Each structure stands twice: as C-alpha cells, then as structure tokens.
Amino acid sequence: MALERRKFVGTFIHSKSLTDLEICEEATIGVDEHGKIAYITRPGPDKAPDGWDSVHTIKLEGNKFFFPGFIDTHIHASQYPNAGVFGKSTLLDWLNTYTFPLESSFSDTAIASKVYNRVVARTLSQGTTTACYYATTHVPATNLLADICLKRGQRAFVGRVCMDRMSPEYYQDESTESAIADTRSCISHIRSIDPSFDLISPVITPRFAPSCHTATLAALGALQKETNLPVQTHISENTSEIALVAELFPEADSYAHVYDTAGLLTPKTILAHAVHLSPTERQLIKSRDAKISHCPASNTAITSGRAKVRELLDEGLTIGLGTDVSGGHTSSMLSEAREALFVSRHVAMTDGDEAKLAVEEALYLATRGGAKVVGLESKIGGFEMGMDWDAQVVGLGDTVGTDEIDQSEGLLEIFGKETWEEKVAKWVYTGDDRNTLAVWVKGRLVHKRNGFTI
C-alpha cells in the first residue's frame, strides 16, 4: 500500500544494546513511502535531504516519546478469552481443564473471527507491532488469523498447531500425514495473501514434544529443512512435563535432545519458557543458535518456575519476551517487561543481586531481543537507517499540577524533576496501554488512541 513520506520529531528512546537505552531529544526521523527510516537527524535542527521540506510532520512535546514497537515472541491467540482464568492449575491440568476445550471451539470460524479480531486489535493498542502467534489445529481458523493480522496491519508469525497424541480425542491431529498436510495448507494460504512473507509469515508449530509422535516431530523437522521457515514450540516449562518427556522419549538424553534429533533445533527455532534447562541443554541450544522466549507472567501464573534469565544471558543465549497468553494473564508487553523485572528480583532473593534485571534490560528484551528471536533484527526493534518504522508514541501525561487527583486517563505521577531515565522507569512500573497513543507498523498507522491528534 502506497504511503506518504512523514517526519517524526521529538524525543526518541530505544535500546542500543542490552544495557544501553539511548535517549535522543530534539531528533527527527524521516519515514519514506515504503515505511522505512530514510534519514535520522539527532539531535538538533532537521537536516532533511532534498525533497523532504514540505512533508507532513508529527511533532511530540512534553512527556511524550517515540519508542520501538514491542515484539511478543510467544502468544496463543486462540487462548485470549481465557486470559486471567487459570485458578490454581499447573501446566498439564491447565491444558486439559482450560485450554483444550477453548481451542477446540475454533472449529467454528465465527468464534475464531471474534477472538482473533479482538486479540490483534488489543495487542496493537498495547504497542505490540510483531506477534508470534499460536493458532489452533484448525486450518480455516488459522488462515483467518493470518488474514486478520494482514488486514489490521500487525506483523505476525502464524502457526497452525500440530498435536497428534496425549491430547483429547476431540482435539488432535489424525496422523502425521494429516498434521503435515494441514500445515502445508496454511503455508500455502499465507503465501497466497503475502507472497514474500513480508508482513505475515507461517511458523512450523509442534505444540510441544509430549503432544507429537516421534514421526510427526521428524516430519516437521523435514518440513523446516525444505522450507527454511521458522519453528516455534515449548521447552522445559514444568517439572511434570519434563518427566513426561523422559517417559515418552526414553531414548533421548534430554528434552532439548528430542527436538534436536527431529531437526527442530535450528537458528530459526523459538523455544518458549526454558525454565528448567540443564547446562548441557543450554549448550546444545546455543550451539544450534536456537532462540528463547522468556514468559515470566505465565511461569508465575501456572507456577512453572523461575527462569534464570541472567544466567541465560551470560551464557550468550538469544532471548526475547513472550506474554504466553493465556498461561500468562496479560497480553501487554509492557506488563510482561514488568513481570520480567519482578521475577528476576525473586530469583535474586535466592541467587543474589546479580540476577536482577534493570529497566533498560527488560525493554531490550521486549524490542531488540525479540527482533533477534524472530530473525528480524535488521528490520525492527530499534530506530536505525533502513529499518522499518514499527513504532509507538508513549505519552505519560502532563506534570502534576495541584494536589487534586487529575481524572484524565493514563496520567502517570510525573512531578517535573525526573530525568528521562526515571520517566521511562515510571512508564514500565506504573504505566499501561492508556499511555500508548499511536502505533505504526512498516509506516502504516495501525492504532491511535482517542483524543490524540497526529
């Protein structure tokens, strides 16, 4: 879709590295007709190239700033109606009690349409510009999710879930052959709506090792080799699940080894959770350059465990954040970043202060880290020349005036003496989607909060 050139002026904040959050005041970014960053002037008067003088300008003032869009590296779109509904369950009983009954209802595309439209609109409004979605086993509903992401403009990886054992009879693939045929059918559909997978990409999705026969895992590994598509699955989330994997795959040395044997541990593989990995598994994952989606809200909610993110980072693993709705209760990546901060503090209570993540580290994981996890680090996750304009405007509200409580929505308690670093910390710890005023994906405006003018 042809776009107009635009200029964005004001304060830009993004991660340069895990520990370096760059704050650029009085800067200008020019975005071209293709939604790409064509030039950056930082800081100081705009040094626009020829032809950019009369371009529409979006200028931020006060406690507002541009921030890269969030990248959710693991979210079950179909489970969105269950967000917050998990009782006291843990993974295996949670799947049977809450998850499989809901997912199976997506044989009805009217249900799928309602849920998928809602989750895509909601996550866009929360600043998620890229999402790695699990759908369900149903081909029509999975294709519909891809259509909805394309129509609403969210960058997405859409996975048709493969599961042919250890699942209820009413909700599982008939055979290895049918799982592969249905997966191919979704790949073809996505190719028909987005031929170069520019915005929407298929992702090969074995649910997790226990729900796939060895032959199915191997066939999905072969499909990955044939197509070079990304893979997403779960690993080492919960101790009962790990025991089940050992029972079902007695020949395997470890959970990670099961995926490796099937050819599913690749540089394009996203492994969600990774809470209880052994040192040997970590080494194997690193040697295959597979990626990890850390899901702290879910790991807490369904009591899976506390992933030791500092250790994983120190070992050089590539990590992003995933909301894991509805194991996780929130679809907001801002909340997920906060959960990552708090879980790291719980780890610190036993392992020492070194385990604590800093705000800038959590934001890195939610943006640049996520971009690496989904293999798009040259395109998204930061503000660099040639990158796509996947961005959000964050507004914290005006500095507080009187001791009356201001009832306008989304105002944070900014007293006026805060540095930008402190304002960002207030956003991460006390903000929500009311602070997300506008969102763009590849230069296209995909969400604007009522009352915000651009």
Ligand X SMILES: O=c1[nH]c(=O)c2nc[nH]c2[nH]1
| Chain contacts with ligand X (rule: CB under 6 A) | 76, 91, 95, 99, 207-208, 234, 237, 298, 324, 327
CA distance 360 to 425: 9
Minimal distance, residue 98 CB to ligand X, in Å: 9
CA distance 66 to 162: 39
Which residue, 237 or 361, has its beta carbon nearer to ligand X? 237
Which residue, 12 or 208, has its beta carbon nearer to ligand X? 208
User: Closest by alpha carbon to 206, among 155, 272, 257?
Assistant: 272
CA distance 211 to 163: 5
Minimal distance, residue 381 CB to ligand X, in Å: 24
- With both helix axes pointing from N to C terminus, report the angle between 139-152 and 109-125 in degrees, rounded to the nearest 10: 30
CA distance 329 to 338: 13
DSSP state string for 17-44: SSS-EEEEEEEEEEE-TTSBEEEEE-SS
Minimal distance, residue 183 CB to ligand X, in Å: 17
Minimal distance, residue 339 CB to ligand X, in Å: 14
Q: Which residue number has the CB closest to ligand X?
A: 327
CA distance 89 to 288: 33
Q: Tell me how many helices (H) and strands (E) the chain has.
A: 15, 18
Whole-number CA gyration radius for the chain = 22
Minimal distance, residue 350 CB to ligand X, in Å: 24
Phi and psi at residue 39, in whole multiples of 5°? Answer: -155, 155
Which residue, 11 or 99, has its beta carbon nearer to ligand X? 99
Which residue, 153 or 230, has its beta carbon nearer to ligand X? 230
Which residue, 76 or 160, has its beta carbon nearer to ligand X? 76
Minimal distance, residue 192 CB to ligand X, in Å: 28
Which residue, 166 or 445, has its beta carbon nearer to ligand X? 166
